[in-house]
Amino acid sequence: MCFGCAQMRPLTGGDKDTIPPNIIQTTPNNLSTNIIGNDFYFVFDEVIDGSKLKEKLIISPFYDGNFDSKIKKNTLLLTFDSSFNKETTYIFSFADGISDITEGNPSIYSKFVFSTGNKIDSFFVSGLVFDPLDNEFLEGAVVGLYNEEDSFDLFKKKPTYFSLTDKNGFFKIENIKLGKYTIYAFADENKNFKAEYKAEKFGFVGSPIEVSKSLDKFLIPVFNEDLTPISIQRTRKRGSIFDVVYNKKIKNYTIDRSDLTHSLYDNNTVSFFNKNNNLDSALVILSAFDETNKKTIDTFYVHFSKEKEKNIKINKKFIVDSDNVNDTVTYILETNVPLNDYNYKSNFYIDTVKVPDYYFIDKKTKKNNNTVEGSLFVIIDSINVFLKNLKEKITNDSLGFESDSLYRAYKRYYGRLNTNKIIYKIKKGELITFTGDTLGEIKKDFNLKEDEYFGGVNGLISDKKNNGPYVVSLVSENLSKILKNETKAPNFKFTKIEPGKYYLKIFKDKNNNRRWDYYSITSKKQSETILYFEELIEVRSNWSIEDIIVDVDLLVDKLFLEDSLFVN
């Protein structure tokens, strides 16, 4: 009697196959010269899947034709529809376009080299592509060599030679013909081998390179830059207000008249105001500059209505660079309409207890008609003494009025005061617009902690090649906070640092203005180089990290060592 039947089960055991397919035979042979045909035959050491080959095969120098592929088990036939350039060395890189049929292991490092001339070009160019603002390497970026040194070929045509970066941002362009080239890198999101400046990061090497030997250790920084020409997008009349709206952010602007009230708001809108209702129209020459200092000049009439704009909605922004007021905090106060007076009074409060003026500093600088740049500094020790004296006074006074409920309430209130928070206020009515309207209250909470809560970092820059000066800043791990160095290089010192993990960010300050300068790609001028100290620094409460030495001469060299990255 049969009580059960045997079941078919998959075999188990053994290691998983992680070896990609490798080329074992080609026709013509690898590294062949004087090739004139369009058919190429490859044999791999196992059965292959080539379903992605059409979009994954990389041909360098760039080939503008098409090809068909035929796969049978472990063989591949490539047939191209047009001839290759004469006297040129070509590389077929299979990347992950070929994989094994079982585990899908990609044949990333398989390549085939041939020449249509009588020699194989052997020069290479290698380096790294890095985004210094996001502190990350770019994987899958296109790095291209272009023949015409005076054009921006990366936006118009595909590169002559190219390579893709690996997960560590490393690239190597091989088998390059002797000649002069420019180098561009870009995050080719749409895989069309052309840079899209509105959507993709890009960068370049500042000077053309002469390939007469192999060259390495190129560090190419990439940035987002909108190269759209700056222009007026639209104008609109709103009673006694005339708005000029630009298509992108405006860094600054000038006008040729002094009898018009004007302001810049939301980065791209210049507004004109008929303050005294005495103009129907005015001829204006307006010059505007974008963030890369590209300029546009427009001449037009500003038109006003005799009726004032009713119920102007007043918008305001109060932006700070830190929530900790133990150290100097900078702020920007911006409104959408011009202000009459910038000498407004501000105050700090611990809950509802007003802090005397002489315990804090509030410096104000007028920027535009509607913008104030300021800085705040609170003298913490003095505030603590102030609060202590207040509590003692209430306690002493209450001793003579034990049964008085008011004194008991005061005593409980001051005993519960939260001294870890301080409130900055500009009360309603302190700021008045050109129309006579008042701004509502501006309020911002800041942290107020004892000095023992904070840590410190100090050290020096080692620069034996004397390529400085350098500026050092401390950047939080999530890149949201940038803390400025209190001293000039070679020394750096950071005090009152909130506990956490930070990067040391160093840039070469070519013009010694202590500000990082970005130059548009159209200027053909390299932006100031940004580097990061290779170790993530952990700042702890009541602890100072001393004597960090940053050797800038070694920072770049370390990048090119295996497993050496900016970010640990």
In a domain, 357, yes or no: no
In a domain, 395, yes or no: no
Instruction: Answer yes or no: do 463 and 525 share one domain.
Output: yes
Please check whether residue 552 is in contact with residue 530, taking contact to mean a CB–CB distance below 8 angstroms. Answer: no
Q: Is the pTM of this model over 0.75?
A: yes
Instruction: Answer yes or no: do 204 and 258 share one domain.
Output: no
In a domain, 517, yes or no: yes
> Max alpha carbon distance in the chain (Å)?
113
In a domain, 170, yes or no: yes
The string of pLDDT tens digits covering residues 404-440 is: 666 667 667 776 777 788 999 999 989 988 878 888 8
Instruction: Answer yes or no: do 131 and 106 share one domain.
Output: no
Closest by alpha carbon to 152, among 199, 196, 215?
196
| Distance separating alpha carbons of residues 450 and 496, to the nearest angstrom | 10
Instruction: Answer yes or no: do 465 and 549 share one domain.
Output: yes
Number of domains in the chain: 4
> Could you say which of 85, 115, 145 is where a domain stops?
115
Distances (CA, A) of 99 to 30, 42, 45, 164, 432: 20, 14, 11, 19, 70
DSSP 138-177: PSS-EEEEES-TTS-GGGTS--SEEEE--TTSEEEEEEEP
Give every residue of the chain whose pLDDT is below 50, as ranges.
Answer: 1-13, 562-568
> Could you say which of 303, 336, 365 is where a domain stops?
303
User: Which residues constitute the domain of residue 465?
Assistant: 453-559
Domain with residue 41: its CATH number is 2.60.40.1220
In a domain, 329, yes or no: no
Instruction: Answer yes or no: do 464 and 548 share one domain.
Output: yes
Domain with residue 152: its CATH number is 2.60.40.10
CA count, 13 A, side-chain hemisphere, 73: 3
DSSP 445-480: EEE---GGG-EEEEEEEE-TT----EEEEEEETTS-
Instruction: Answer yes or no: do 251 and 295 share one domain.
Output: yes
Closest by alpha carbon to 321, among 374, 260, 242, 248?
374
Domain with residue 248: its CATH number is 2.60.40
Instruction: Answer yes or no: do 189 and 265 share one domain.
Output: no
Closest by alpha carbon to 231, among 301, 303, 271, 289?
289
Pairing of strands 67-72, 89-93: unpaired
> Could you say which of 115, 149, 174 is where a domain stops?
115
In sequence order, which residues have a C-beta less than 8 Å from that of residue 455 and are 6 or more positions away? 497, 499, 539, 540, 541, 542, 543, 544, 545
In a domain, 445, yes or no: no
CA count, 13 A, side-chain hemisphere, 451: 9
Instruction: Answer yes or no: do 91 and 134 share one domain.
Output: no
Instruction: Answer yes or no: do 80 and 158 share one domain.
Output: no
Instruction: Answer yes or no: do 78 and 128 share one domain.
Output: no
Domain with residue 531: its CATH number is 2.60.40.1120
In a domain, 434, yes or no: no
Neighbour order of strands in the sheet with 75-80: 23-27, 39-44, 75-80, 67-72
| Distance separating alpha carbons of residues 321 and 328, to the nearest angstrom | 10
In a domain, 363, yes or no: no
Pairing of strands 123-131, 215-221: parallel
Instruction: Answer yes or no: do 133 and 170 share one domain.
Output: yes
Residue 452 backbone phi and psi in degrees, to 5: -65, -20
Instruction: Answer yes or no: do 180 and 272 share one domain.
Output: no
